[in-house]
């Protein structure tokens, strides 16, 4: 087998050293009833060529060559070539978590840069080295708010990604953390702060909103923060579209920002791996979950970096840790770091500007469901048949919202990025108008 | 004598923010093919940000040099052995990276129509079946993103099953040799942790176990082989004691590399377990992640698995959300799919014989190291070793040298340290897991290095106490880092750092 670097004669020599007659003796102390007495029912090993070919065929069954208007937490952005060039270096790809600082300065330095750039982008003062993804960052942020405030209830806007809300619910169910949901304004598509106000009490640890929210609408963070703070609660702001941070004012009034960096050169890859982050104020640093890199010096006085404040973490604090997270998404965070470096200050802004322009071009020929300001995705009114019609043109349309929001039947969430071609948007608009006219006419007849 | 390394020049490199200057660029976007929109008009001027202060501005050449220079400051599997006990740092086959970037798979959106996602779903289904066969379990969820995430999922399953029987119970038993994630997980799922002591062989003490298991015991979180690298020879009795009282057995699959093709948790009484695909199944560690932590269960826990689950109807795959007893989602979408692709490529490359041979070689390597080092280091637990062996620094401690010092000296010899001071039941532990992907030559160099260090400790402990000597970064002051945390770069600190 090509991944096993020993010849049979070397195995023989090693067995001799161990005083064993055969490899089977290595396992002779296992209770026989615990042993597998037959070969695994798996295929024999395959060559590289066969494996590449098998996966290529699976790829061909997975919509290559289709144009797509899907967003909803996962966005198609161009991945600069430098990203894979850097993360393919064995020194990054095949290294372990940088506990041994003396031989891990490469990884540690990039994480320190990552933490810094996330702070610059979000307007926060400290960011961790990554979470699994945006969805799991939400309950981690909620638990953090509970620790900080000593309160236990959480309010989350219904305009937060539905799957993120489901994850929050799963995490909180056994921790004595009741969750209540906050309605959205049916005209604007933004969180209804009056509903939040009605549900606030001295038991509420945090209000969680998303901006741009799941409907693509940019929320008024300042007003939400003022409301939360007035009632002694924290404001947690989630983002799923990191490119929006190139243009939008960050949630500086939030206490915790949690988000998903998939937009930063991370392939959609059918849902993962992605990278989440949590950023916050310096004063809350000891309640932050996950790994953190800090600057220090080595014995010769040179600048050096190391993992720090690990007394927050499970390997030291065990059941009293801030989270059980251990393995995170380091290499994916490195992809995001390279992406941020390639685009930089001006590039990220121009990239965001292009997303804004493309999405507004697409929207100009369609019927928007909500009137609130949007960045690169928005909800349209359209019958479900639109997606079927678009597929005939090799276009994947939007995400129908009825499955999560009964009140939003016959609407879908559509997205345009810098990768979306004008010709496809023109086709989308033409098909959408053709489909909705008879549908509207039929609706009028009823 | 140091045989594996010789120093070479490494490049200095400031932080990105320190090499940045206005107007430099590493990007070019195509011309906009639609009318430009005025952001202030579209969003309102309050919603539009000013420039991002101090965000980097570098050229493409500077960017690639920056990251390449930093990369040379890392140790990595591609450079040599990584004997981290419990971490299973094995070779990461490059074909895995290639197939994970297959166009249709890498660009598949999680919400694209199921009829246009069949290939990705097939990959998922084939991996599910393979992992069930390898573990001897009945069903699996690939949703958890890492080992600790899998633990949380698994313990929630236990809680939901017990709840459905009327009482979730209060306590989880966790051996004192367990990983820190186990008790942290128990707390997140609302359980009290009851530690149970290991016996003098490092195994679960059956008599002690009998005494603590009662009708408030939800289950036990057990690692097998345990963290001293020993197979729990009474594992079947352990599971019987728990099951008799209506409690369940969770297995931490961190050490599955000792079992694949040899023994299956499903055959020795385990109810639920997680796998670390970034350990046993070769997906790269990437400096700390991503991983994947699938959770495999026996039939009685299947109704509680996270949704959605794969379903086959009319010759097509679909996602099935209709599982009313499910614990719910533990993550958005379907898991770390790109990691799943890599793990499946690994299983396909090895096949049934290769997987078993890998286990045999992993165990042979650990025993070979143990045999050679036993005369030099104290081995507190003498039971036969599986895929790792754990020594204590007790002999060296008499000269004032501890396991952490020996680890740092090992760096000078060209190796990443072993796992230091874990498991906690071994004072001053040196926990060594070579994995199967080390050849005899690399193992011999490693053995020579540790013997040489043992001799240095006898003759001149100072050389070990002040190690590493040959790295570009000498011993790092972690105490100051924690006392005065500096966790982001700030412009005002530039001057003091110009010396780099």
Distance from CA of A99 to the nearest CA of B (A): 10
Using CA coordinates, name the residue in chain A closest to B155.
A174
The token pair at A164 is: 């993120």
Report the Cα–Cα distance between both ends of chain B, in Å, rounded.
32
Residue B225 scores a pLDDT above 90: yes
pLDDT band at B177 (very low <50, low <70, confident <90, very high): confident
Q: Is the pLDDT of residue B498 over 80?
A: no
Chain-chain contact of A102 with B476 (C-beta, under 8 angstroms): yes
CB-CB under 8 Å, B119 with A60? yes
CB pair distance less than 8 Å for B348 and A51: yes
Among B97, B102, B306, beta carbon nearest to A59:
B102
CB–CB contact A98 B287 (8 Å): yes
Per-residue pLDDT band at B200 (split at 50, 70, 90): confident
Question: How near does any CA of chain A get to the CA of B234, in Å?
Answer: 8
Nearest CA in chain B to A419: B30
A93/B286 touch (CB, cutoff 8 Å), yes or no:
yes
Please tell me the least confidently modeled range out of A172-181, A240-249, B199-208, B487-496. B487-496
CB A270 within 8 A of CB A285: no
Angle, to 10 degrees, between the axis of helix B337-373 and the axis of helix A8-18? 50
Per-residue model confidence (pLDDT) at position A311: 83
pLDDT at A63 (0 to 100): 82
Higher pLDDT, residue A312 or B206? B206
- Please judge whether A39 and B39 are an interchain contact, meaning their C-beta atoms are less than 8 angstroms apart: no
Cα separation, B263 vs A60, in Å, equals 37
Do residues A134 and A238 lie in contact, with contact meaning Cβ atoms separated by under 8 Å? Answer: yes
Min Cα separation A155/chain B (Å): 19
Distance from CA of A384 to the nearest CA of B (A): 13
Spell out the residues 6+ positions from residue A217 whose beta carbon is closer than 8 angstroms to its own: A159, A188, A189, A190, A370, A372, A373, A374, A378
Instruction: Say whether B328 and A328 touch across the interface (CB within 8 A).
Output: no
What CATH class has B95-348?
Answer: alpha beta
Residues 375-394 of B with CB under 8 A from A: 383-384
pLDDT tens digit string along B425-438? 999 999 999 999 99
pLDDT at B346: 98
Assess whether pLDDT exceeds 90 at residue B414: yes
Nearest to A95 among B75, B111, B149 (CB): B75
B240-290 pLDDT tens trace:
999 999 999 999 999 999 999 999 999 999 999 999 999 999 999 999 999
Bridge-partner residues for B391, per DSSP? Answer: B430
Which of B33, B72, B111 to mutate to test binding with chain A, by most A CBs within 10 Å of its CB? B111
Q: ipTM of this predicted complex?
A: 0.96
Is residue B331 a contact partner of residue A167, using CB atoms and an 8 Å limit?
yes
Sheet strands side by side (includes B419-420): B389-392, B429-432, B419-420
Are B350 and A62 a contacting pair at CB < 8 A?
Answer: no
Chain centre to alpha carbon of residue A21? 52
Burial class (CB in 10 A: 0-12, 13-18, 19+), A24: exposed
The closest of B384, B406, B385, B386 to B395, measured between CA atoms, is: B406
Q: In chain B, which residues have their Cβ closer than 8 Å to the Cβ of A245?
A: 49
How high is the pLDDT of residue A312? 84
A363 contact residues in B (CB cutoff 8 A): none
Chain B CB contacts of A121 under 8 Å are 52, 55
Res B57: pLDDT = 98
Beta strand A126-127 pairing with A276-280:
antiparallel
Strands (E), B137-243: 139-141, 171-175, 192-196, 217-223
Backbone angles phi, psi at B223, to 5 degrees: -110, 125
In angstroms, the separation between the Cα of residue B435 and the nearest Cα of chain A is 10
**Are residues B278 and B257 in contact, defined by beta-carbon separation less than 8 angstroms?**
no
**Residue B479: both structure tokens together:** 């105490």
Cβ <8 Å between A272 and B331: yes
Q: Looking at the partner chain, which of A3, A285, A299 has a beta carbon nearest the beta carbon of B475?
A: A299
How far does A200 lie from chain B, in Å, by closest CA? 25
pLDDT at A439: 57
pLDDT at residue A322, rounded to an integer: 82
CB contact under 8 A, A328 and B146: yes
Instruction: Name the minimum distance, in Å, from the CA of B428 to any CA of chain A.
Output: 16
Q: Between β-strands A67-68 and A395-396, what pairing exists: parallel, antiparallel or unpaired?
A: parallel
Q: Which residues on chain B are in Cβ contact (under 8 Å) with A391?
A: 113, 116
The torsion angles phi and psi of B438, rounded to 5 degrees, stand at -105, 135
- Average pLDDT for chain B: 96
- Collect all residues of chain B within an 8 Å Cβ-Cβ radius of residue A305: 476
- Percentages (nearest 5) of helix, strand, coil residues in chain B: 40, 10, 50
State the best of B13, B41, B55 to mutate against chain A, taking most chain A CBs within 10 Å: B55
Angle between helices A162-172 and A134-149 (to 10 degrees): 50
Flag if B75 and A295 touch (Cβ within 8 Å). no
A-chain CB neighbours of B345 within 8 Å are: 51, 55
Residues of B in contact with A111 (CB under 8 A): 287
Q: Residue B369's closest chain A neighbor by CA?
A: A18
Locus of tokens 């049934």: B352
For residue B459, the model assigns a pLDDT of 97
Quick count: other Cβ atoms within 10 Å of Cβ A401? 21
Of B363, B360, B372, whose CA–CA distance to B446 is shortest? Answer: B372
Instruction: State the residue for tokens 């069903």.
Output: B139
Question: Given strand B248-253, what is the order of strands in its sheet?
Answer: B139-141, B295-297, B272-275, B248-253, B217-223, B171-175, B192-196
For A69, nearest residue in chain B (alpha carbons) = B112
User: What ranges do the domains of chain B cover?
Assistant: 16-71, 95-348, 360-474
Q: Is B330 in the A-facing interface, judged by CB distances under 8 Å? A: yes
DSSP letters for B118-141 = HHHHHHHHHHHHHHHHHHT-SEEE
Residues of A in contact with B487 (CB under 8 A): 112, 115, 126-127, 285, 292-295, 308
Contact A109 B15 (CB under 8 A): yes
Q: For a pLDDT cut of 90, what percent of chain B falls above it?
A: 94
Q: Which CATH number fits domain B360-474: 3.90.1150.10, 3.40.470.10, 3.40.1350.10, 3.40.50.2300?
A: 3.90.1150.10
- Per-residue pLDDT at B195: 92
Subunit contact B331:A173, Cβ cutoff 8 A: no
CA distance B443 to chain A (A): 11
Q: Which residue in chain B has the smallest CA separation from A53?
A: B99
Chain A CB within 8 Å of residue B156 CB: yes
Residue A444: how many CB atoms within 10 A of its CB?
A: 7
- Pairing outcome for strands B171-175 and B217-223: parallel
Q: Which domains does chain A have, with CATH numbers?
A: 67-78+345-445 (3.90.1150.10), 81-339 (3.40.640.10)
Q: Which residues of B touch A17 (CB under 8 A)?
A: 368, 371-372
- The residue among B154, B330, B155, B285 whose CA lies nearest residue A133 is B330
- pLDDT tens across the length of chain A (446 residues): 999 999 999 999 999 999 999 999 999 999 999 999 999 999 999 999 999 999 999 999 998 789 999 999 999 999 999 999 999 999 999 999 999 999 999 999 999 999 999 999 999 999 999 999 999 999 999 999 999 999 999 999 999 999 999 999 999 999 999 999 999 999 999 999 999 999 999 999 999 999 999 999 999 999 999 999 999 999 999 999 999 999 999 999 999 999 999 999 999 999 999 999 999 999 999 999 999 999 999 999 999 999 999 888 888 888 888 888 888 899 999 999 999 999 999 999 999 999 999 999 999 989 999 999 999 999 999 998 999 999 999 999 999 999 999 999 999 999 999 999 999 999 999 999 999 776 555 554 54
Euclidean distance between CA atoms B120 and B462, whole angstroms: 56
**Whole-number pLDDT of residue A436:** 79
């Amino acid at each position: 087998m090509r991944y096993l670097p020993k010849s049979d004669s070397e195995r023989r020599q090693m067995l001799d050293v161990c005083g064993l007659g055969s490899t089977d003796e290595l396992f002779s102390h296992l209770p026989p009833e615990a042993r597998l007495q037959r070969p695994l029912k798996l295929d024999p090993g395959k060559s590289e060529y066969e494996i590449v070919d098998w996966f290529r065929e699976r790829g061909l069954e997975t919509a290559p060559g289709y144009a797509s208007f899907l967003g909803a937490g996962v966005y198609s952005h161009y991945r600069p070539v430098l990203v894979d060039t850097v993360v393919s270096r064995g020194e990054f790809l095949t290294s372990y978590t940088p506990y041994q600082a003396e031989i891990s300065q490469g990884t540690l330095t990039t994480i320190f840069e990552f933490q810094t750039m996330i702070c610059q982008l979000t307007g926060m003062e400290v960011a961790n080295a990554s979470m699994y993804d945006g969805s799991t960052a939400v309950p981690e942020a909620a638990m953090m708010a509970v620790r900080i405030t000593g309160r236990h209830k959480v309010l989350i806007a219904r305009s937060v990604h539905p799957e993120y809300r489901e994850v929050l619910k799963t995490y909180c169910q056994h921790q004595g953390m009741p969750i209540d949901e906050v309605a959205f304004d049916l005209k604007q598509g933004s969180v209804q702060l009056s509903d939040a106000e009605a549900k606030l009490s001295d038991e509420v640890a945090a209000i969680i909103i998303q901006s741009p929210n799941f409907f693509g609408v940019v929320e008024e963070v300042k007003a939400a923060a003022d409301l939360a703070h007035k009632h002694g609660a924290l404001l947690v702001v989630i983002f799923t579209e990191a490119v929006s941070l190139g243009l939008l004012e960050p949630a500086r009034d939030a206490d915790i920002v949690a988000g998903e960096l998939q937009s930063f050169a991370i392939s959609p890859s059918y849902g993962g791996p992605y990278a989440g982050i949590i950023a916050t104020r310096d004063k809350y640093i000891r309640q932050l979950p996950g790994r953190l890199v800090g600057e220090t010096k080595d014995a010769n006085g040179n600048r050096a970096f190391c993992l720090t404040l690990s007394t927050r973490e499970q390997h030291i604090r065990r059941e009293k840790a801030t989270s059980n997270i251990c393995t995170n998404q380091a290499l994916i965070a490195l992809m995001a770091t390279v992406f941020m470096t390639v685009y930089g200050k001006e590039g990220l802004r121009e990239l965001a500007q292009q997303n804004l322009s493309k999405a507004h071009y697409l929207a100009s020929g369609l019927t928007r469901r909500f009137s609130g300001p949007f960045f690169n995705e928005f909800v349209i009114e359209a019958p479900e048949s639109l997606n079927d019609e678009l597929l005939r043109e090799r276009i994947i349309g939007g995400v129908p919202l009825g499955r999560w929001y009964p009140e939003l039947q016959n609407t879908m969430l559509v997205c345009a990025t810098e990768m979306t071609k004008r010709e496809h948007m023109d086709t989308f608009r033409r098909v959408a108008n053709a489909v909705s006219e008879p549908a509207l006419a039929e609706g009028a007849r009823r | 004598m140091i045989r594996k390394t010789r120093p070479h020049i490494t490049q200095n490199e400031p932080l990105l923010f320190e090499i940045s200057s206005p107007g430099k660029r590493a990007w070019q976007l195509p011309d906009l093919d639609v009318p430009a929109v005025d952001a202030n008009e579209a969003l309102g001027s309050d919603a539009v940000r000013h420039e991002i202060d101090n965000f980097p501005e570098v050229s493409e050449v500077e960017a690639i040099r920056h990251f390449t220079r930093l990369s040379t400051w890392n140790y990595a599997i591609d450079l040599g052995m990584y004997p981290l006990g419990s971490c299973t740092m094995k070779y990461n086959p490059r074909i895995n990276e290639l197939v994970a970037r297959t166009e249709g798979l890498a660009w598949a959106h999680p919400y694209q129509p199921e009829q246009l996602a069949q290939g990705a779903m097939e990959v998922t289904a084939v991996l599910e079946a393979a992992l069930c066969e390898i573990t001897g379990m009945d069903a699996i969820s690939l949703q958890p993103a890492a080992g600790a995430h899998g633990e949380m999922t698994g313990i929630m399953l236990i809680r939901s099953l017990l709840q459905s029987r009327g009482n979730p119970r209060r306590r989880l038993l966790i051996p004192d040799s367990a990983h820190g994630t186990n008790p942290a997980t128990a707390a997140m799922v609302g359980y009290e942790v009851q530690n149970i002591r290991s016996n003098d062989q490092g195994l679960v003490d059956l008599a002690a176990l009998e005494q603590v298991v009662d009708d408030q015991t939800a289950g036990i979180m057990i690692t097998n082989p345990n963290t001293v690298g020993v197979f729990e020879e009474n594992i079947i009795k352990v599971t019987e004691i728990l099951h008799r009282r209506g409690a369940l057995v969770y297995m931490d699959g961190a050490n599955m590399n000792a079992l694949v093709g040899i023994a299956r948790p499903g055959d020795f009484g385990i109810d639920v377990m997680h796998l670390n695909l970034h350990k046993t199944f070769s997906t790269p560690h990437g400096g700390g992640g991503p991983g994947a932590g699938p959770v495999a269960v026996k039939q009685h826990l299947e109704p509680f698995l996270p949704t959605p689950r794969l379903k086959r109807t009319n010759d097509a795959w679909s996602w099935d959300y209709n599982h009313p007893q499910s614990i719910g989602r533990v993550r958005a979408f379907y898991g770390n799919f790109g990691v799943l692709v890599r793990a499946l490529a690994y299983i396909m490359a090895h096949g049934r014989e290769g997987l078993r041979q890998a286990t045999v070689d992993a165990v042979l390597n650990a025993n070979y190291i143990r045999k050679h080092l036993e005369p030099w280091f104290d081995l507190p637990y003498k039971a036969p070793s599986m895929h790792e062996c754990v020594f204590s620094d007790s002999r060296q401690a008499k000269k004032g040298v501890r396991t952490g010092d020996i680890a740092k000296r090992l760096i000078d010899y060209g190796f990443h340290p072993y796992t230091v001071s874990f498991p906690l039941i071994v004072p001053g532990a040196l926990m060594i897991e070579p994995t199967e992907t080390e050849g005899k030559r690399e193992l011999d160099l490693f053995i020579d290095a540790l013997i040489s260090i043992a001799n240095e400790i006898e003759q001149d402990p100072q050389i070990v106490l002040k190690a590493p000597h040959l790295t570009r970064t000498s011993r790092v002051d972690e105490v100051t880092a924690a006392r005065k945390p500096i966790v982001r770069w700030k412009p005002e600190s530039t001057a003091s750092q110009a010396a780099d």
